[in-house]
Chains A and B, each alone.
Chain A
């Protein structure tokens, strides 16, 4: 497993490098944003540990560039401030996990193992519907290349609709497929989630068929392009 460690503090880098090597990783180290971006762009890493406070280019920008270039390598960000706004902006940029400094080395190793397990999930084909793309492997979706930020319920709803695109799906069917047995099965909540999903993917992609349910279709212009 190759890991890219991006950290500008000399001592912390030395420690983490040692700990990662001991845990069996092949470690590359970058001390500033430029190096990090270059390495991440050229080398096929399995996972990246990225400090957000970096010289030259900050961590969030580096991450944004990778994601824009289509890199899906899982990234764990290290934040020093511990402020949730930093974590949130890191996630918006495409991070997969975070760790707040100071942390225990074992915690970092445990998180990396979890990230690697996750990204090694069962591969399956990407679903598309017009400008919508959903990657079940990474559990990620985007619309016209813009990453979508979805909660798991919204993701499952979109996934189900995309698997059955073009078909009218009743609320009952959705409730049955989206919720565990012990969830409060209130079909009204489906409306809430469809509403939220429409806000995120655009209002016209999910059509309400009165009395029957919902149908996902590509937008008029997109159908030909796809």
Chain B
């Protein structure tokens, strides 16, 4: 398949593709092969048909010429004085330049033709004879030969020549009969014209049929490609449609590959989680132990543990983001996640009396994994709860083009605008005075970017920080 990022290729668009791109197109290959075969076959057919038609015309002329030769032969007298031929009773041979001629000639031993008599119609013109006629006559061994020539009125002629040995004559006598063949030529031309036009139409029709056939035949492939594109874009989890038996195995293999991918992603995530678990408890111990004692060593241990914790968090996040980049076809209802987080955070911040007011359309969903949406919104909403006066507002809506905007804001003191950029960076922490996890904004930024989204900070009209998230949306 092609490597350029063609998202979808409707059948009609492959026209330009077929005409425009040489080389690796299946359509092009199939159509070229079929077209070449069609052109060769139809050309041969046309040639055979026209030549057959012409030959049958000439055979008809040959019959007429044979009769004329016979008549001339009958009108010929052979005597001691030589050969004399009377005019035959054919009106056309008696009319000057009528297009029907005869002649009688003597073939001398040195290979020359000496004309003895000719039809009236020839008038004083010679019967046209090709230069190599004597040899042709010799080769023919008594059979009648035919050839084309130009007549006295420059008309196309069909000439029959027959060699006879007449009694009393030393040299063989050649009897010629000629007839205008322009009718036959015209007929042949007309036939050829009609035949070629018909064959050209047939050819064009066949090529069009092949084209259609290839398009229809390859349509499941385009369908498969579109489905795979949909999977890559996260709109579908697997190949769902049934395909013809020739490519169903391909679809099955793709599904198997997808399943395998998913499994690898899951496994990686589990490893990552286990590693986090394994490292964080010891880090907790070191932090607590060092925190409980004064001195230089505990200070160093505490500082280094904090750095380790940051590093572990960062790298685990990176690994998860990498695993997620190939996350496939998941969709998560936004309302559900907002609801569970709101319930949970209100309980956690109950002493403070925090109220989380969330608004999102029921059918709005996040095109991605639930865990990731929980991570993004959990961090932002927890942060808002931590810093708010009493109220946190989360509102979401689709923006079209498969995107949505989620806004998380609070009525706290907010953040000066010149620090917005800094807090999105890795490791930057805004709550150095508050123990526990950091602002989590860098986690959010990493995750949102992994989904091709964007995080923007602004001041809320409630007074506090307003975080705008652009995320891929899906209907649920």
CB distance from A135 to the nearest CB of B (A): 14
Q: Select from chain B the residue with minimum beta-carbon distance to A96.
A: B347
B281 and A117 contacting across the interface, CB-CB below 8 Å = no
Chain A residue nearest in CB terms to B378:
A84
- Closest chain B residue to A149, Cβ basis: B343
> Contact between A80 and B351 (Cβ–Cβ < 8 Å)?
no
Give the distance to chain A from B327, nearest Cβ to Cβ, in Å.
Answer: 14
| Closest B residue to A102 using CB positions | B284
**Bound form: Cα–Cα A16–B351 in Å:** 24
Choose one: A80, A97, A99, A196; the contact of B339 (CB below 8 Å): A196
Among A96, A101, A139, A149, chain B packs the most CB atoms within 10 A around the CB of A101
Expressed in whole angstroms, the Cα–Cα distance for A81 and B355 within the complex equals 27
Q: Is B273 an interface residue (CB 8 A)?
A: yes
Residues in chain B near residue A80, CB distance under 8 A: 276-277, 280-281
- Which B residues are CB-close (under 8 A) to A139? 347, 350
Contacts of B355 in A (CB 8 A): 151-153
> B46 → chain A, closest Cβ, in Å?
75
Q: A189 to chain B: which residues have CB within 8 Å? A: 359
Q: Is B356 an interface residue (CB 8 A)?
A: yes
Stretch of A7-15, A42-50, A207-215 lying at the B interface: A7-15
B397-427, CB < 8 A from A: none
Cβ-defined contact, B305 with A83, below 8 A: no
Q: A82-B276, A153-B355 are contacts. A87–B344 as well, Cβ < 8 Å?
A: yes
* Contact flags B334-374 to A (C-beta < 8 A → 1, else 0): 00000111111011101100111111000000000011001
Which of A24-32, A103-111, A123-131 is the contact stretch? Answer: A103-111
Q: How many residues belonging to A are interface residues under a CB distance threshold of 8 Å?
A: 44
* Residues of chain B contacted by A183 (CB below 8 angstroms): 391
Contact B342 A151, beta carbon cutoff 8 Å: yes
Query: Closest Cβ of chain B: how far from A54's Cβ, in Å?
Result: 11
Residues of B within 8 A of A72 (CB): none
Q: Are A103 and B284 in contact (CB-based, < 8 A)?
A: yes
> B294 contacts the other chain (Cβ, under 8 Å)?
no
Q: How far is the CA of A15 from the CA of B286 in the complex (A)?
A: 10
A59 within 8 A of B: no
Instruction: Closest A residue to B381 by CB, please name it.
Output: A84
Q: Is A163 an interface residue (CB 8 A)?
A: no
B437 contacts partner chain A, Cβ-Cβ < 8 Å: yes
Q: Kindly supply a per-residue 1/0 record for chain B positions 48-65, scoring 1 wherever the CB is within 8 Å of any chain A CB and 0 otherwise.
A: 000000000000000000
Is A101 a contact partner of B348 (Cβ separation < 8 A)?
no
A81 to B402, CA, bound (A): 31
Docked CA distance A99–B436 (Å): 8
Residues of B within 8 A of A85 (CB): 370-371, 374-375
Contact residue among A11, A83, A192 (Cβ-Cβ distance under 8 Å from B375): A83
Q: How distant is A181 from chain B, measured CB to nearest CB, in Å?
A: 12
From 376 to 404 in chain B, residues with beta carbon under 8 angstroms from any chain A beta carbon are 377-379, 390-391
Is A102 within 8 A of B305, CB to CB? Answer: yes
Distance, CA A70 to CA B435, complexed state (A): 33
Instruction: Point out the residues of chain A lying under 8 angstroms from B358, CB to CB.
Output: 151
Cα-based distance from A100 to B305 in the complex (angstroms): 15
**Interface presence of B70 (CB below 8 A):** no
Known contacts A81-B277, A151-B343; A12 and B348 CB within 8 A of each other: no
- Of B273, B281, B340, B359, which is within 8 A of A88 by CB? B340
A143 at the interface (CB under 8 A from B): no
Is B287 part of the contact surface with A, judged by Cβ < 8 Å?
A: yes
Q: Is the CB of A91 within 8 A of B347?
A: yes
Distance, CA A84 to CA B342, complexed state (A): 13
| 0/1 string, A121-163, CB within 8 A of B gives 1 | 0000000000000000001000000000111110000000000
CA distance A97 to B341 in the complex (A): 12
Determine if A53 is an interface residue (Cβ-Cβ < 8 Å): yes
A30 and B305 alpha carbons, distance in the complex (Å): 27
A102 B283 Cβ-Cβ under 8 A? yes
A87 to B377, CA, bound (A): 13
Do residues A91 and B375 form an inter-chain contact, with CB atoms below 8 A? no
Known: A87-B378, A117-B351. A82 touches B437 (CB 8 A): yes
Partner of B283, one of A87, A96, A101: A101
In Å, the complex CA distance between A149 and B350 comes to 14
Roughly how many angstroms separate A102 CA and B371 CA in the complex, as a whole number?
21
How distant is the Cα of A183 from the Cα of B391 in the complex, in angstroms? 9
- Point out the residues of chain B lying under 8 angstroms from A81, CB to CB: 273, 276-277, 280
A68 at the interface (CB under 8 A from B): no
Q: How far is the CB of A105 from the nearest CB of chain B, in Å? A: 5
Contacts of A101 in B (CB 8 A): 280-281, 283-284
Given A97-B348, A101-B280, A88 and B341 contact (CB-CB distance below 8 Å): yes
B187 within 8 A of A: no
Given contacts A91-B343, A103-B435, contact A15 B273 (CB under 8 A): no
Cβ-defined contact, A15 with B292, below 8 A: yes
Q: Does A169 contact B (CB under 8 A)?
A: no
Contact A118 B374 (CB under 8 A): no
Within 8 A of A (CB), among B433-459: 435-437
Do the beta carbons of A98 and B348 come within 8 Å of each other? Answer: yes
Q: Is the CB of A92 within 8 A of B340?
A: yes
B344, B346, B355, B377: most-surrounded residue (chain A CB, <10 A): B344
Q: Is A19 an interface residue (CB 8 A)?
A: yes
Tell whether A223 is near chain B: CB-to-CB under 8 Å: no
Contact A104–B351 (Cβ < 8 Å): no
How far, in angstroms, from A105 to B309 measured CA to CA in the complex?
16
* B26 interface residue per 8 A CB criterion: no
Decide: B285 and A9 in contact? CB cutoff 8 A.
yes
Chain B residues, CB < 8 A from A16: 288
14 contacts between A and B (CB under 8 A): A12-B281, A12-B284, A15-B285, A84-B377, A85-B375, A102-B288, A102-B309, A104-B287, A104-B291, A118-B351, A151-B339, A151-B343, A151-B358, A180-B390
Residues of A within 8 A of B (CB): 9, 11-12, 15-16, 18-19, 53, 80-85, 87-88, 91-92, 96-107, 114, 117-118, 139, 149-153, 180, 183, 189, 192, 196
Closest 8 CB pairs of A and B: A84-B378, A102-B284, A84-B374, A11-B285, A91-B344, A107-B435, A104-B435, A80-B277
* Additional 7 contacts, C-beta under 8 A, given A83-B273, A85-B370, A101-B284: A9-B284, A81-B280, A84-B371, A102-B286, A103-B436, A107-B435, A114-B351
